[in-house]
A and B are shown apart, each in its own frame.
Chain A
């Protein structure tokens, strides 16, 4: 089973390396390691040299991370996480170094701002029915478990190691049986809220032309990804919640009923990665390569935010910007405008979730 453990860690390391490798090409064309540059700079000799050094650095740290994961994994359970942490820190340092090299080439972004004179799409991702289904599925699971309460064993497994050994138990009680469903409902509600708020409280970078259409598709895709995450989470939680009714699943090797959610998550992660790589930040990779807009040729547009509002290239802080969400400069998706007080409430809520899990006894 160590081989399986190693294979899984190796897969995660490879996935991180792949994302890190492709990331410079996934951002908006005039943003280079979170610095606004002329659109021709990344493909020029200096731009290529910076990308080459960055990629060498992340490759070295991927190898070191994997080695650490193997060594630490033999010493203590969960030691593999140390290797992944090493790789992630190495990746971030590589980004910071590349950003420092890119900064001398920075140019002022356009001061033009544009808005489409059409009201935004106001619906939720997938519509209200698709947003309500996950809650209905959780409620149905809860009702079914309630109906078969006496069939539930007094003590049952809720988490397994890769070698098939159980490493977490729960008991037949409200917290043990319904706790995961309640937490899942809270997380699904948060994701639905995020999917509702993100298009409403973020700036549309482009208002017209093929870039605006690509951005619309990107926004729809982000909403779809959030909705799919809700469904996956509900499926995994409902599946795990119903497992105690399927008899004793203690004996190794790993039961196929237990391994199904693991495969589902792996397939989901691969699919999401593929979608995001295909889209690029703000749908920038959806555009035809030769569809250069006049404004893009003259003054860099980037994401219409100022470089000095990005701390370390990843934290956005602009009190003058009413947007709560802003496109990440290095990555695909959105980040918070930390100058807005609501952003800190969201950060607090995310940090409180593990505390809620612990209170419900799921962290033991």
Chain B
């Protein structure tokens, strides 16, 4: 069963956590087109957050073309066509990755361990493997 988990003590706002986790599942195609996501109310109840928090996350994903929002019916996953890559998107990704690596190393993770983790991810990405 697919589970969405957030940390209420995190400095990352809850709506961003929800949107990021869902996006990761969508990218990995663990949630596929046509699938119905829980309604805003259901997800807010289980996560113990305000309805607006979940609604904001869903709105973000809808704006990115991942889901279709219908009043009272929750969110339906759409068959999203990937946009053409832009230089801006590439630069943003590189910067985010560098920041993430720096944060991991700063928090004491061994450089070798971080590199191994990245290699593993890269391999999985290249093979299009699904967990």
A interface residues with partner B (beta carbon < 8 Å)? 111-120, 201-204, 207-208, 212, 304-305, 320-323
26 contacts between A and B (CB under 8 A): A111-B7, A111-B10, A112-B5, A113-B6, A113-B7, A114-B3, A114-B4, A114-B6, A114-B46, A115-B5, A115-B38, A115-B42, A115-B43, A116-B1, A116-B2, A116-B3, A117-B2, A117-B31, A118-B1, A118-B38, A119-B37, A119-B38, A207-B3, A207-B4, A320-B50, A322-B50
| A113–B25 CB distance below 8 A | no
A203 touching B46 by the CB < 8 A rule? yes
**How many angstroms from the CA of A120 to the CA of B37 in the assembled complex?**
10
Closest Cβ–Cβ distance, residue A165 to chain B (whole Å): 51
Q: Tell me, in angstroms, the Cα distance from A201 to B37 when the chains sit together.
A: 17
Contact with A along B23-58 (1 / 0, CB 8 A): 001000001000011110111111111110000000
Provide the residues of chain B in CB contact with A118, threshold 8 Å: 1-2, 38
Given contact pairs A116-B3, A117-B3, A202 touches B8 in the complex (Cβ within 8 A): no
**Nearest CB to that of B37 among chain A residues?**
A117
Chain A residues near B42: list those with CB within 8 A: 115, 119-120
Q: Is B9 in the interface zone, CB < 8 Å from A? A: yes
Cβ-closest chain A residue relative to B25: A117
- Chain B residue numbers with a CB within 8 Å of A113 are 5-8, 46-49
Is the contact region of chain B dominated by helix, strand, or loop, or is it mixed? Answer: mixed
Chain A residues contacting B44 (CB-CB under 8 Å) are: 322
Which residue of chain A is the closest to B42 with respect to CB atoms? A120
Q: Are A111 and B8 in contact (CB under 8 A)?
A: yes
Give min CB distance, B108 to chain A, whole Å: 19
Alpha-carbon separation in the docked complex, A304 to B111 (Å) = 35
The CA-CA distance from A113 to B47 in the complex, in Å, is: 5
Task: Kindly identify which residue among A201, A207, A323 contacts B48, using a CB–CB cutoff of 8 Å.
Answer: A323
On whether the beta carbons of B49 and A322 are closer than 8 Å, the reply is yes
Q: CA A299 – CA B74 in complex, angstroms? A: 32
Contact A111 B45 (CB under 8 A): no
Extra contacts, 13 of them, besides A113-B49, A322-B48 (Cβ < 8 A), are A112-B7, A113-B47, A114-B46, A115-B4, A115-B38, A115-B42, A115-B47, A117-B4, A207-B4, A304-B48, A305-B48, A322-B45, A323-B45
List chain B residues, Cβ under 8 A from A305.
48
User: For residue A117, which residues in chain B have a CB less than 8 angstroms away from its CB?
Assistant: 1-4, 25, 31, 37-38
A113 to B49, CA, bound (A): 9
**Nearest-Cβ distance from residue B55 to partner chain A, whole angstroms:** 12
Contact yes or no, B3 A208, CB < 8 A: yes
**Which residues from B are CB-within-8-Å of A204?**
45-46
Q: Which of B10-28 contact A (CB under 8 A)?
A: 10, 25
Complex contacts, B48 vs chain A, CB 8 Å: 113, 203, 304-305, 320-323
Which residues of chain A have C-beta atoms less than 8 A from B3's C-beta? 114-117, 207-208
B73 to chain A, nearest CB (A): 10
Nearest residue in A to B18 (C-beta to C-beta)? A115
CA distance A119 to B75 in the complex (A): 10
Minimum C-beta distance from B115 to chain A (A): 26
A152 to B38, CA, bound (A): 55
Please measure, in the bound complex, the distance between the C-alpha atom of A212 and the C-alpha atom of B2, giving whole angstroms. 12
Chain B residues whose C-beta falls within 8 Å of the C-beta of A115 in the assembled complex? 3-5, 38, 42-43, 46-47
CB of A26, distance to nearest CB on chain B (Å): 23
Complex Cα distance, B4 from A208, in Å, reads: 10
CB distance from A64 to the nearest CB of B (A): 42
Nearest-CB distance from B35 to chain A (Å)?
A: 8
Most buried by B among A115, A207, A304, A321: A115
Cα-based distance from A114 to B51 in the complex (angstroms) = 15
Q: Which residues of B contact A323 (CB under 8 A)?
A: 45, 48
Tell whether, in the assembled complex, residue B9 and residue A212 are in contact, meaning their CB atoms are under 8 Å apart. Answer: no
Question: Is B5 a contact of A114 with CB atoms below 8 Å?
Answer: yes
Which residue of B46, B50, B51, B74 contacts A207 across the interface (Cβ within 8 Å)? B46
Partner of B51, one of A120, A304, A322: A322
Q: Which 7 A-B pairs have CB atoms at the shortest separation, nearest pair first?
A: A115-B46, A111-B9, A117-B2, A114-B5, A113-B47, A111-B8, A207-B3
